[in-house]
């Protein structure tokens, strides 16, 4: 009976070790895939060529992304949408910053 208990205990230890390795390497791969997703989102939201130019809603519509133009002092919601293009403009409607949030 004592021997059976020791065998069960050792099997449980092996299972925990295997589970630990699976979780560790699985989470590491998940982090790598998340980094690739973030990199793809950053590349998909590279509209830096618009900075310094007049905001053009026609060009925004052509991207197929949801968008909003935010002049100085404008109110907006803080909801996160990685597909949405945010154009921050100055008083002359010149784009000062672009991001996707």
Q: Do 72 and 98 have their domain in common?
A: yes
Residue holding tokens 């992304």?
Answer: 65
Confidence tier at 4 by pLDDT (50, 70, 90): confident
pTM for the whole structure: 0.57
Look up the domain containing 17 and give its range: 1-44
Instruction: Specify the pLDDT at position 39.
Output: 57
| Distance of alpha carbon 92 from alpha carbon 7, whole angstroms | 78
Q: Could you tell me which residue, 73 or 17, shows the higher pLDDT?
A: 73
Q: Do 101 and 54 have their domain in common?
A: yes
Instruction: Specify the pLDDT at position 89.
Output: 96
From residue 41, alpha-carbon distances to 45, 47, 58, 64 in Å are 6, 12, 22, 15
Instruction: Specify the pLDDT at position 27.
Output: 58
- For residue 57, is pLDDT > 70? yes
Instruction: Specify the pLDDT at position 17.
Output: 81
Q: Do 15 and 54 have their domain in common?
A: no
Q: Of 99, 89, 51, which is closest to residue 69 (Cα–Cα)?
A: 89
Q: Do 66 and 38 have their domain in common?
A: no
Q: What total of structural domains would you count in the chain?
A: 2
């Amino acid at each position: 009976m004592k021997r059976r208990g020791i065998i069960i205990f050792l099997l449980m230890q092996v299972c925990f070790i295997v589970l630990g390795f699976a979780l560790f390497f699985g989470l590491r791969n998940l982090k790598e895939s998340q980094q690739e997703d973030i990199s793809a989102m950053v590349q998909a939201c590279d509209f830096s060529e618009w900075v310094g130019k007049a905001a053009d809603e026609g060009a925004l519509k052509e991207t197929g992304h949801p968008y909003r133009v935010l002049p100085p002092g404008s109110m907006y919601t803080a909801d996160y949408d990685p597909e949405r293009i945010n154009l921050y403009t100055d008083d002359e409607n010149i784009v000062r910053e672009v991001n996707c949030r």
